[in-house]
Structure 1
Amino acid sequence: MPSSLLTKATLGTLGVGTVATGSIYLGKDLIVARNQKTKTSIEELIETVNPDKRFISRPGTSSHWRAVWSEYKKDNNVWNLAGLDTTTASSTEDAPQEFMDACDSKKEQEVLDKGDSLYSQVVKYCTRNTLVRDLINETEGKTLLTKGSDFATNQDWKTVWELYKQDNNGKNTDSWDIGSWSSNKDSSNVPDAFATKCGTKSEVEEYQLDQSNYLDVLKYCTKVG
């Protein structure tokens, strides 16, 4: 074979080898890329994985903070927080600033998935169960009515009260059983029992938007805005 042809053949073979080798390396890169998982902040992950949970808001005097602080102390200071007395557990002790700060810091850390131990810890020590009022607050265009001093004659309250009466018209007992229905059903002013029931039902644990716990409060206890 002429030397020029031999050289071309050799170079051609090397070229194929180079391409093949390059394909192998490219293949490995693709495999590695496919196996890599994207980390997500614990705060964002809880929104999708645990819609039944909400982060506890301050101050640390709330019953929710007291409960999780008590649990944290029972678990022997797993975050190694310095300068805190974690030897005794009490459900009436306010959560200290350092503990709440730790929750704020750790919820911003990123993890691969819910299997990470830190994720489980943040859920346990920094969250509470989702309530109806949380869902209402997250519903665009709706505001939960509050029982102010003028609730009985407040127009927003009277609007939902009239709706409630219409939906219970002709019944011996109303759906919420607010009491004294035979007389309350004819009242134009909002009964105290009705406004109180709105407050009570807004504190019920619920995270699904298709449940009556949420839908009833949305209908009878909110205003536009």
Structure 2
Amino acid sequence: MALLSAGKIATYTICAGVVGSAGVGSYCYLTRSTEVTIEELIKTDAKDKQFIGASDHGKVHAGWTQYKTDNTSRGTTKGKDFWNLENWAEQHNQENVPETFAKECQEQKKAKVIGKEDAKYTNFLKWCVK
């Protein structure tokens, strides 16, 4: 039975390391996610949907109702709601869409998400799409 020399062992170890690193690198490259804006994703995923905008300020909207419901357990202090809306303490009882919420929907559509399962995207669909 022949023993391997130290040089051969080192060579095999290096080769195994290179092959392993290449495999890990390839996996990371092939499974990486590309971020897109919510607006871009909606154009491909939900073309028939429209966003809440400034014209919706003062109107009753199911998305605003859902936002209030989803944030009730967080409290009414500023900064306690999901998007940290200005005047949340005063606005959380309003039936109609406040201007701050309509503006935030316009800002959130520019947010980058990884895909349809991203919480930012699913929340946007619940709260800002009509």
TM-score w.r.t. the length of structure 2 is 0.63
Q: Max radius of gyration: which structure? A: 1
**Paired position in structure 1 for 2:118:** 211
Cα shift readout 1:31-88 (whole Å, capped 9, x = no counterpart): xxxxxxxxxxxxxxxxxx9973xxxxxxxxxxxxxxxxxxxxxxxxxxxxxxxxxxxx
- 1:132 deviation in Å? 0.8
**Paired position in structure 1 for 2:66:** 163
User: How far apart are the structure 2 equivalents of 1:217 and 1:211?
Assistant: 10
1:14-163 pair list within 5 angstroms: 52=34, 130-140=36-46, 142-149=48-55, 151-155=56-60, 158-163=61-66
Q: 1:160 touches 1:219 (CA, 8 Å); kept in 2?
A: yes
Q: Is the alpha carbon distance of 1:176 and 1:138 closer, same or farther for their aligned partners in structure 2, counting shifts above 3 Å?
A: same
User: How far apart are the structure 2 equivalents of 1:146 and 1:182?
Assistant: 21
Cα shift readout 1:204-223 (whole Å, capped 9, x = no counterpart): 12241111121111111112
The amino acid that maps onto 1:143 is K
SS of the residue corresponding to residue 195 of structure 1 reads: helix
Higher share of residues assigned helix: 2
Q: 1:136 touches 1:144 (CA, 8 Å); kept in 2?
A: no
For the aligned residues, what is the CA RMSD?
2.4
Flag structure 2 segments of 5+ consecutive residues without an equivalent: 1-30
Q: 1:132 touches 1:207 (CA, 8 Å); kept in 2?
A: no
User: How far apart are the structure 2 equivalents of 1:179 and 1:186?
Assistant: 14
Q: 2:54 touches 2:102 (CA, 8 Å); kept in 1?
A: no
Identity %: 23
- 1:154 deviation in Å? 3.3
User: How far apart are the structure 2 equivalents of 1:140 and 1:147?
Assistant: 17
